[in-house]
Amino acid sequence: MSLTARALLLDMDGTLVNSDAVVERCWRRWAAEHGLDAEDVIGIAHGRQAHATMADLLPDRPVEQNLADNQRLLEWETTDLDGVVPVPGAPAFMASLAGLPHALVTSADKALARARMGAAELPMPQVRVTAECVGASKPDPEGFLKGAAELGFAPADCVVFEDSEAGIAAGRAAGMRVIGVGPRAAAHAPDVHVRDLEQVRVEPLSDGTLRLRFTD
């Protein structure tokens, strides 16, 4: 099976970088502070900015408190890199994109994105849309639309790589096709689902398009 695109928009956590251990440690710590069930919290935390998750869990809490806790969580995560590793196939996949149109679109801020990509020893894309760049978290499509605009391509010409429900929804809302990566993605009907990035090959074509091939 294959798809063609002109640009690729890449989520980070769960898609390029396995940071699940850190994410769960930090959210368990926050859940304990607020007397919430950690499993319930973790179940909806992946793929979006922390303040959006907090607003769902504590709907009556002032936005300012959620934003303050969002910053605390970012600081915890940026200094906790234990267990942060590349998703299988990510190093070769990223190497294959050198010189091709692609962007990072992540709910992490700049510091956390640099820390995790560095810990996983993955190259940082030249174009990146981080938390500071958007007014709304995934599943809002703003981040992916900004990434496409910065690369100079129409949304329909872009393919999103995502692992989370919020991220897949954001890609769809942006009018883009979505490749779901990893076990979380399988339940949310991406256009293509892969176990990890070892199943993806990127081939530049003579007309400037990219052919994505998916292997078993």
Residues that are catalytic: 11, 13
Matching residue, tokens 């935390």: 45
Report CA-CA distances (Å) from 24 to 41, 77, 116, 166.
Answer: 9, 10, 15, 17
Query: Rounded distance, CA 195 to CA 216, Å?
Result: 9
Angle at 10 between CA 181 and CA 192, to 5 degrees: 35
The residue assigned the tokens 């969002």 is 70
197 vs 9, 90, 122, 155, 165, CA distance in Å? 14, 6, 13, 22, 18
